[in-house]
Structure 1
Amino acid sequence: MHAFIGPILSLIICIVFSCDLVSADPWIAGVTPRLVGRGTTSEIVIDRWRHEAIDVLFYPYNSVRPDEENPEQPGIRCVGTQFDSEKQRLICQVEVATNCRAGEHPFRVLTAVGLSSMGTIYVGPFPVINEEETKANTNDTPETAMLVEPDITVQGTLSNSSKDDIDCFRVSGKAGERLSVEVDMVKMGDDLRWNPVPEGYDSVVTILDPSGKRIAKNDDSSLNRQDPLLSVQLPVDGDYTIVLQRSMFIPEARTYAIHIGRYFRPLAAYPLGGPAGSSLSVELLGDPLGPKTQTISMPQSSGTFPLLGDAPKPLTLRSSPFPNVLEASNDKETKVAELPAAVNGVLTHPDEYDRFRITVKKGEPLQVRVWARALGSPVDPSIRLRPVDPSGELGAVELEADDATRPDRDIFGGQGDFPDTFDPSVIWTPKQDGDYILEVYDPRGAGGPTNVYRVEIAPPENTLHIGLSFEGYKPERPRKTSLSVPRGSRWTVRLSLYPAQGSNITGPLDLSVEGLPPGITMLSSRIPELQSAWPMTLIADTDASLSASIIEFKAKPAEGGEPFKTVNQQNLQRVSYSHYPWRNIRVDRFAAAVSEPAGFEVILDAPNQPLMRGSELTIPVRIVRQPWCDEPLEIQCEFAPPGVGTSPAEIIPSGESISNLILSANDNAKLGSSPLYVMVTTTQARGGRENSSVRGDTDQGSERVRVSSDVINIEVAEPFVSLSSEPQSVRRGNRIKYRWTVKQLRPFEGQASVRMLGLPVGLTAVGSEPTIDKTSKEVEVELEANDDALLGLVGELKCQAQFNIGGEEIL
């Protein structure tokens, strides 16, 4: 039997409120229209909205960073907003540059109470017109189809009528011309509910010739995923009908954009990438009128990037610091002169195996990362590595890999279907010097002219991904995913730290942030060693202006450590159903803002004594209220040392000002100093609802107002003493001196009184409490058993020792 004695300290938390300026976080439930055209000034509307807007902050494109030769594409900017309080909607005028990148553009709205959740709009490459169907099911046939000119985008809705709504479009064409059709529907979904039937977003497109005969049909595609994509060469002159409908009838309205034109529509590029900063000749494959060759300037930095063209959906390529090796299609194998390298090939025929001969050194790890499905290729790749013996024969398979896990593809946060996970990525340590054969194949036996792939083989690069704390299967919580710091207050965020595959990052590390709005500063203590999470505090000046900016977290080794690369990553889910969402919005930077004062400040003093392993630390919490802010508040510890448990969040009722935070250190709690902070939040929506009794909730857009304390350090230490006892017995009506053996673990001054805990009915301690000091080896507690004492063995007896250290009582 052992008892570990640790301290219980008294701490005071002071909170100051000024509540007249606080309100609930704005939450974007949906955006209409979902698509705007290039070179236009358009209105977008956010419904179920309750706040004046200060600005709309658009994210830069999350891709390879721009440089002097490759400036970032001009994008979108907000040129005016109007809040309609009666209809509860926000109208934003957005100006779209004529050469704005086509595709999805994430944004957040800045209000006085902080940044909103993330919304998105799409930019189309063509003029945008609206579907002219005033009543459902009135353009369901070729005879009633909407007449359109080529190179146009139609924005419409598959309605929630009682029978399946089918939208038809008629376009004229000549024999030999190209007709390309792309649909955006799943990717434009704004649905954040749990939806048991997301198939309502899944559509199919059919092209009918002038006689009504079907010449092409598509549901899903590797490039456009759940949204259909078609490009055909027209067989005859005449009017062609494009039929858009759901792949499964679900009576729920779904908006879409359908792009119709004669534009060049490649499905793949070969090779799928090249050396950063070089000129690369690529062959664009898959267009019905044949391939084209194009020379492109590769970005100066590494990563994925879009190859923009005439089509709405760009191809995606890789920029890497490795030389390209192209398969020798007529040879049995392709020789790779040296590593690192990026090998590229096409699985043109069914059941094809491409082989590359590489030379490696025993024990030197390599990252072998395949790029295919992640870049829109139809290949579902697998790889094998076999050594070549001196006679030239292939040895046994040393490594075989198919799909990858999300961490192996450096995907952190978010849930759902990531195409990257179809591409294997492994750290391989060769077992011998010499030549190996790398085999690339599709286990389904699929082959075709657009089945391109790329394999990058190089020593693993030290990379640290930084994200924000993620909560799976839930809508976004704006106060956790965008950083709105109230004037004169602080906001502490729990950063998630993810080492990339094969990285060897230890510590100590220093954190920094770039691009903060004026008036915000960052505080973060040095990270002693790499761990999964670390707190970082943002502080807003009392006179900071209400503004927002895109920020980027950085980490670097301290004290001459090994350098590494830092990547920011945030995945936010959309169209949720069943166990995961259908799609995610991914950005590689974050948003921060200054908001109006929150109304409360949290002051947390660090304890003077350590928290002992196997003991509890009770921290009293005092609330100092302003007279006009007497409402329930919630206190919760959001970050504690490893192995230290925290008491659940506790509500401090209106009119009360005292609470307790209890920390409990287990026997294996991490020793040493670790950070801790608490968060104080309102429990009701304020300023965003007429009924203030409604608790704040993100689903309806009313997040709580949150402000953090300082980050303090908690020292976890071994206990002063360990007490153990042997089995002892006592008869009814008798007394016994129950002996405890005292093992000194850490020196202490003065004396500590000892009290028995957990005594059963009929057994009591008598006399004065015994004491121990730093020289004690044994202590006795006198026990008396009366006639009510139960016969038999009694276990789980415990001891409590009360110390007085530096004027503080420690239990």
Structure 2
Amino acid sequence: MRAFIGPILSLLICFVLSSGLVSADPWIAGVTPRLVGRGTTSEIVIDRWRHEAIDVLFYPDHSVGPDDKSGDQTGIRCVGTQFDSKKQRLICQLEVETDCRPGEHPFRVLTAVGLSSMGTVHVGPFPVIDEEETKANTNDTPETALLIDSDITVRGTLSNSSYEDVDCFRVAGKAGQRLSVEVDMVKMGDDLRWNPVPDGYDSVVTILDPSGKRIAKNDDSSLNRQDPLLSMKLPVDGDYTIILQRSMFIPEAREYAIHIGRFFRPLAAYPLGGPTGSSLSVELLGDPLGPVSQTISLPKSSGTFPLMGDAPSPLPMRSSPFPNVLESSGENETVVSAIPVAVNGILANSDETDRFRITVKKSVPLQVRVWAKALGSPVDPSIRLRPVDPSGELGTIELQADDATRPERDIFGGQGDFPDTFDPSVIWTPKQDGDYVLEVFDPRGVGGPTHVYRVEIAPPENILHIGLPFEGYKPERPRKTSLSVPRGSRWTVKLSLYPAQGSNITGPLDFSVEGLPPGVRMLSSQLPSLQSAWPMTLIADEDAPLSASIIQIKAQPAEGGDPFVTVNQQNLQRVSYSHYPWRNIRVDRFATAISEPAGFEVILDAPKQPLMRGSELTIPVRIVRQPWCDEPLEIQCEFAPPGVGTSPAEIIPSGESTANLTLSANASAKLGSSPLYVMVTTTQARGGRENSSVRGDTDQGSERVRVSSEVINIEVAEPFVSLASEPQSVRRGNKIKYRWTVKQLRPYEGQASVRMLGLPVGLVAVGPEPTIDKTSNEVEVELEAHDEALLGLVGELNCEVRFIVGGEDILLRTGSGKLRIDPRLEK
């Protein structure tokens, strides 16, 4: 039965998603074509779309480059949109600058109901032509191959036909020339369904010489990962055939871009980086015509940057504020004069181990971070650190590291496949003063001329990463991953705070936002000490224009605290496999927008009394509706103090305007003042704008509107009293006055009633509920045991103490008692 139901459910889920019935958000299910050329005006189409577009917002290209020209430029801009409501698609005209960076560019679409999920489009460096396979299998053999010029990008599709689709291309070449082929298919993957089949993205390229003999083949590569990459020196004059096909056929159509030409295609740079703002001489390795020396200018800022050349994809490199040390050729070890430092080497031979001698101080922590796989190198690195004894011999291994976790590589709010995690990164605290030897090796025992690596060794830097709420193994929900603030309303987001490896950030911290749209302001109370999450509120003026922008959230120490660096980070999956992200895209900014008015306001009043540990407190929530807003609303608390539970989501029926939020603090809830807010959401999707009407036309798409309350402060305090008891007993048919000792903890006025909880069947409280006041040291609850009461020991008895303070009910649960029930005495 399970084997039968599983596939049926998978098909049903795929059908529902493909029908656009699951998400009412402005959700980008896919973009076609996936690639456009530089220096062109091109059209892209977003299918299954139900919204008029106000703007298309591209993320700035903040990947630092050698010329530091990234700034806030995107290289792409949208110059027009057309919404086809009948075909449910959005057509966007894009202008791509001639110097736009090749590769993937993320964007969001602004609608009246908010920002869309993230879409991406790729830019190629060469003129683009289409495969134009008007009939199936018309270019599937060398004889029918599509004839192309050199340095051309072909956009095509591997079909979903029952026969394996093969696409062939023919290009002329001369002996001694270079022929380079690079495929974009996995990296252009755009399958955001719940249950896709990513294997269909994995392709292989074969090159045939003019006689039809296979002379090269590639499936995966270190630099291009699952996408093929080939570059070779041609042996003879003639026409060469390039064959593109799947590694394993899957009956799903897949778009691709194949770049074919004579372009220079190095596979690695050595060294892999250098000091920020300097000139660096590098060897570009791996091209079939031999290595090339080049001097490059490094960015003025630290980080990973793309070294762009003639090829469609760059060589990733590092810019760091550390001097370079290159391995000494032919020496057993390389002496490093000082730390911090970045050591660089090549594991050129099988089973090679490179050694660097460093001098350190005992108990002074250092971050040792390796860069290899993360920069497209074929090296799978491991490291060892050994002390050097007075005789010069190497001692016992003090530290050994291989792979790393995502947090160790400062990757937060994402799941899935990140090549960085193959590179170790550790915080090492030496156990002694003096010399150590760092050993770098590949445990697989492989080596080669492009097996480059880099190890940065320095005291750990204080860095705080800020992210948005993350939901693992799920397609993006734009109302949570982008910030759309209704006019005249509040939007509160729970910021995720992640200290980087080795960071020591305490607090208090202040927050600020750069780049907000006109008419939007930010409110955030000071964070008293670093914790994993903190609320930030955006407020849009009633007359704020519908617009969007890319923002950066910053944190800084308050009251003269130690400085640190703030990094924004958002990782969004592009292809999932069995709910496991197979490809991700990372951005270092967030998107925010102003949308149409919500039609309602949320009022949450701060309680007059503290919330006691072990108690419950009910807070009223009021909704102020516009006359036209009578729809059901859902209320849910999204942020509460640690150790404080909240009542589940509640529906406020149509036309009603009040609800209650119940808070319950456990015995270890964090004492002191902490923020709290609720989010109120429409339960049904709402249409876009029509003639300035908020309710609008459903053909324009729909979105669940979200509005937050103000962020209020909740004071968690010790309880007024605590109750305790000794074990007692009662016989069936008898009564007992169960005694509780009252310990006064905080003064209070008035009386509080006491009710016992946890009484089993047959054991009942009789008489009026007893009361206590601030002078009480004991309270008795009269119990009667009936004949149906089970004999034996009853545990987990406790009391609910009801206080009325300032007109508010406060329910305190306290005490832990036991009672033995004995049989009746025989007469």
Q: For this structure pair, what is the TM-score category when the shorter chain's length is used for normalisation?
A: over 0.9
> Structure 1 residues 197 and 809 mapped into 2: Cα distance closer, same or farther (>3 Å)?
closer
Q: How does 1:566-645 map to 2 (within 5 A)?
A: 566-645=566-645
> Structure 1 residues 752 and 30 mapped into 2: Cα distance closer, same or farther (>3 Å)?
same
**CA distance in 2: counterparts of 1:757 and 1:730, whole angstroms:** 17
AA paired with 1:27?
W
Cα deviation digits, residues 251-296 of structure 1 (max 9, x gap): 1110100000101011000000000010111111110001111111
**CA distance in 2: counterparts of 1:240 and 1:683, whole angstroms:** 60
**CA distance in 2: counterparts of 1:754 and 1:360, whole angstroms:** 65
User: In the alignment, is the contact (CA less than 8 A) between 2:62 and 2:72 conserved in 1?
Assistant: no
**CA distance in 2: counterparts of 1:463 and 1:65, whole angstroms:** 22
User: In the alignment, is the contact (CA less than 8 A) between 2:44 and 2:94 conserved in 1?
Assistant: yes
- Range moving further from structure 2, 431-440 or 758-767: 758-767
The CA deviation at 1:789 is 5.1
Aligned to 1:181: 181
Aligned to 2:671: 671
User: In the alignment, is the contact (CA less than 8 A) between 2:474 and 2:579 conserved in 1?
Assistant: no
- Aligned residue for 2:200, secondary structure, equals helix
Aligned to 1:168: 168
User: In the alignment, is the contact (CA less than 8 A) between 2:50 and 2:701 conserved in 1?
Assistant: no
Cα deviation digits, residues 161-180 of structure 1 (max 9, x gap): 11001000000000000000
- Range moving further from structure 2, 65-74 or 621-630: 65-74
The CA deviation at 1:688 is 7.1
The answer on 1:680 being equivalent to 2:665 is: no
Cα deviation digits, residues 560-600 of structure 1 (max 9, x gap): 01100000000000111125121101100111111111222
Aligned to 2:30: 30
**CA distance in 2: counterparts of 1:380 and 1:788, whole angstroms:** 71
- Range moving further from structure 2, 347-356 or 650-659: 650-659
> Structure 1 residues 53 and 584 mapped into 2: Cα distance closer, same or farther (>3 Å)?
same
Q: How does 1:431-510 map to 2 (within 5 A)?
A: 431-510=431-510
**CA distance in 1: counterparts of 2:422 and 2:68, whole angstroms:** 35
**CA distance in 2: counterparts of 1:582 and 1:381, whole angstroms:** 22
The CA deviation at 1:197 is 2.9
**CA distance in 2: counterparts of 1:75 and 1:250, whole angstroms:** 35
> Structure 1 residues 81 and 271 mapped into 2: Cα distance closer, same or farther (>3 Å)?
same
The answer on 1:54 being equivalent to 2:66 is: no
Cα deviation digits, residues 184-215 of structure 1 (max 9, x gap): 00111110113353110000000100000111
Aligned to 1:285: 285
Aligned to 1:780: 780
The CA deviation at 1:376 is 0.5
- Aligned residue for 2:681, secondary structure, equals strand
Cα deviation digits, residues 743-801 of structure 1 (max 9, x gap): 11111122222233344445444444332222211112233445665544433333222
Q: How does 1:367-446 map to 2 (within 5 A)?
A: 367-446=367-446
The CA deviation at 1:230 is 0.5
**CA distance in 2: counterparts of 1:742 and 1:65, whole angstroms:** 70
Aligned-residue CA RMSD (Å): 2.0
The answer on 1:546 being equivalent to 2:546 is: yes
**CA distance in 2: counterparts of 1:791 and 1:453, whole angstroms:** 73
User: In the alignment, is the contact (CA less than 8 A) between 2:75 and 2:101 conserved in 1?
Assistant: yes
User: In the alignment, is the contact (CA less than 8 A) between 1:73 and 1:101 conserved in 2?
Assistant: no
> Structure 1 residues 676 and 311 mapped into 2: Cα distance closer, same or farther (>3 Å)?
same
User: In the alignment, is the contact (CA less than 8 A) between 1:193 and 1:577 conserved in 2?
Assistant: no
Q: How does 1:651-670 map to 2 (within 5 A)?
A: 651-670=651-670
Report the identity percentage.
Answer: 86
Q: State the TM-score, normalized to the length of structure 2.
A: 0.92
Aligned to 1:536: 536
User: In the alignment, is the contact (CA less than 8 A) between 1:264 and 1:311 conserved in 2?
Assistant: yes
User: Could you say which structure has the greater relative contact order, defined with CA pairs below 8 angstroms and 6 or more residues apart?
Assistant: 1
User: In the alignment, is the contact (CA less than 8 A) between 1:65 and 1:72 conserved in 2?
Assistant: no
> Structure 1 residues 53 and 73 mapped into 2: Cα distance closer, same or farther (>3 Å)?
closer
The CA deviation at 1:88 is 1.1
- Aligned residue for 2:687, secondary structure, equals coil
AA paired with 1:515?
G
Aligned to 1:365: 365
Aligned to 1:222: 222
**CA distance in 2: counterparts of 1:588 and 1:600, whole angstroms:** 33
Aligned to 1:255: 255
Q: State the TM-score, normalized to the length of structure 1.
A: 0.93
> Structure 1 residues 233 and 725 mapped into 2: Cα distance closer, same or farther (>3 Å)?
same
Aligned to 1:121: 121
**CA distance in 1: counterparts of 2:259 and 2:760, whole angstroms:** 79
- Aligned residue for 1:312, secondary structure, equals coil
AA paired with 2:634?
E
**CA distance in 1: counterparts of 2:141 and 2:421, whole angstroms:** 40
**CA distance in 2: counterparts of 1:734 and 1:684, whole angstroms:** 58
- Range moving further from structure 2, 737-746 or 89-98: 737-746
Aligned to 2:242: 242
The answer on 1:752 being equivalent to 2:752 is: yes
**CA distance in 2: counterparts of 1:248 and 1:66, whole angstroms:** 39
Aligned to 2:271: 271
- Aligned residue for 1:795, secondary structure, equals strand
- Aligned residue for 1:25, secondary structure, equals coil
Aligned to 2:45: 45
The CA deviation at 1:648 is 1.9
**CA distance in 1: counterparts of 2:787 and 2:73, whole angstroms:** 88
User: In the alignment, is the contact (CA less than 8 A) between 1:195 and 1:575 conserved in 2?
Assistant: no
> Structure 1 residues 593 and 655 mapped into 2: Cα distance closer, same or farther (>3 Å)?
closer
AA paired with 1:433?
D
- Aligned residue for 1:796, secondary structure, equals strand
User: In the alignment, is the contact (CA less than 8 A) between 2:34 and 2:188 conserved in 1?
Assistant: yes
User: In the alignment, is the contact (CA less than 8 A) between 2:385 and 2:400 conserved in 1?
Assistant: yes
- Aligned residue for 2:199, secondary structure, equals helix
AA paired with 1:540?
A
**CA distance in 2: counterparts of 1:674 and 1:384, whole angstroms:** 45
- Aligned residue for 2:795, secondary structure, equals coil
Q: How does 1:306-345 map to 2 (within 5 A)?
A: 306-345=306-345
User: In the alignment, is the contact (CA less than 8 A) between 1:74 and 1:97 conserved in 2?
Assistant: no
User: In the alignment, is the contact (CA less than 8 A) between 1:326 and 1:345 conserved in 2?
Assistant: yes
Gaps of 5+ in 2: 1-22, 690-699, 812-827
User: In the alignment, is the contact (CA less than 8 A) between 2:61 and 2:70 conserved in 1?
Assistant: no
- Range moving further from structure 2, 63-72 or 349-358: 63-72
Aligned to 1:145: 145
**CA distance in 2: counterparts of 1:331 and 1:423, whole angstroms:** 25
The CA deviation at 1:136 is 1.6
Cα deviation digits, residues 310-361 of structure 1 (max 9, x gap): 1001111100000000111111111111000000001111111111000000
Aligned to 1:94: 94
**CA distance in 2: counterparts of 1:781 and 1:582, whole angstroms:** 62
Aligned to 1:12: none
- Aligned residue for 2:730, secondary structure, equals coil
User: In the alignment, is the contact (CA less than 8 A) between 2:414 and 2:470 conserved in 1?
Assistant: yes
AA paired with 1:305?
F
- Aligned residue for 1:105, secondary structure, equals strand
> Structure 1 residues 68 and 330 mapped into 2: Cα distance closer, same or farther (>3 Å)?
closer
AA paired with 1:166?
V
**CA distance in 2: counterparts of 1:406 and 1:31, whole angstroms:** 29
User: In the alignment, is the contact (CA less than 8 A) between 2:509 and 2:555 conserved in 1?
Assistant: yes
User: In the alignment, is the contact (CA less than 8 A) between 2:615 and 2:810 conserved in 1?
Assistant: no
- Aligned residue for 1:199, secondary structure, equals helix
User: In the alignment, is the contact (CA less than 8 A) between 2:403 and 2:424 conserved in 1?
Assistant: yes
User: In the alignment, is the contact (CA less than 8 A) between 2:113 and 2:702 conserved in 1?
Assistant: no
**CA distance in 2: counterparts of 1:654 and 1:249, whole angstroms:** 52
- Aligned residue for 1:129, secondary structure, equals strand
Aligned to 2:819: none
**CA distance in 2: counterparts of 1:714 and 1:670, whole angstroms:** 11
User: In the alignment, is the contact (CA less than 8 A) between 2:600 and 2:624 conserved in 1?
Assistant: no
- Range moving further from structure 2, 788-797 or 770-779: 788-797
**CA distance in 1: counterparts of 2:282 and 2:461, whole angstroms:** 27
User: In the alignment, is the contact (CA less than 8 A) between 1:73 and 1:100 conserved in 2?
Assistant: no
User: In the alignment, is the contact (CA less than 8 A) between 1:169 and 1:243 conserved in 2?
Assistant: yes
